[in-house]
Amino acid sequence: MTWEEILHSALRIIQKPSFIFLLIGCGLFSYFIDRPELIRKSLDKEAKITKYIGVTYIIGGIAIFVITKLFL
């Protein structure tokens, strides 16, 4: 396989809705389930990190969806 074929197949995987739902789902799980559990256990530093990771996954999933729909 050439690099062009590898890149093309990787971009086709990223375009699939299941990949986007997986990214956004992981972000929602981190933000709404993991974070409150960490706060309940008084792990404030970890809860803050989890909040940023969750938001990054959610925004990143939406951004990847928009970029792939616009340019591919």
d(CA 61, CA 29): 14
pTM: 0.82
Q: What are the tens digits of pLDDT across the range 56-66? A: 999 999 998 89
CA distance 44 to 41: 8
Q: What confidence tens digit (pLDDT) does each residue in 3-56 have?
A: 888 888 888 888 888 999 999 999 999 999 999 999 999 999 999 999 999 999
Contact (CB, 8 A) for 58 and 29: no
Q: Which alpha helices (DSSP H) does the chain contain, by range? A: 3-15, 17-29, 35-40, 44-71
Domain boundary assignment for the chain:
17-71
Residue 55: which of 27, 35, 17 has the closest Cα?
27
